[in-house]
Amino acid sequence: MQEATQLVTTGILTVPEDIFWLSLPEIKELLVTQQLDRTVIASRKEKFLHYAKLTPPRAMTREGEIITTKPGAQVPPGSLAGSPVSVGMVEGRARVILNLEQANMEKGDILVAPYTDPAWTPLFTMAAGLVTEVGGMMTHGSVVAREYGIPAVVGIDKATELIKDGTYIRVNGTEGYVELLHHFNSPESCCHSRE
């Protein structure tokens, strides 16, 4: 960052963070030549924004085949079907978290996220349940949910769009679906059973 700040001072970079759009060999060359084709950074930023809008497939084989079949659970009308990965049923307030750095959860909330990885593990100590858009039986969220004994359903396409933050939901981790509750309970009257 010290080098990047110096490159901003000399007018080569616009902001220090632009350095992260370059590879290490490109940075080394830049430090020697003091010349940069700014279209490289602009092009990479544009590609990044494009890729950020793409929806990853629920599951892929190691050969790259995209699996599009839905789980076979019989779900109540209006429910969201996914894959059951940690048994039990829980009802509570959905906390839709798209970015870990902006996570705002309270104990008993149900974590709804695109996916989880090891950095998300501290949120599981507060979560009463888990819903993710991608994942399978052996993905991070599924394994940790089973270790913590919280119901979990994964592989629900567009879960973070269909489930609004603060909505009360019921997660059925045994059958593999999430119900959006049409009545809104207060947190005090919310049921947190883990049958």
CA distance 167 to 109: 10
The span from the first CA to the last CA of the chain, in angstroms, equals: 52
Residues marked active site are found at 140
* Tokens found for residue 47: 């590609």
Burial (Cβ within 10 Å: 0-12, 13-18, ≥19) of residue 184: exposed
CA distance 195 to 191: 11
- What are the residues facing 169 on neighbouring strands? 92, 180
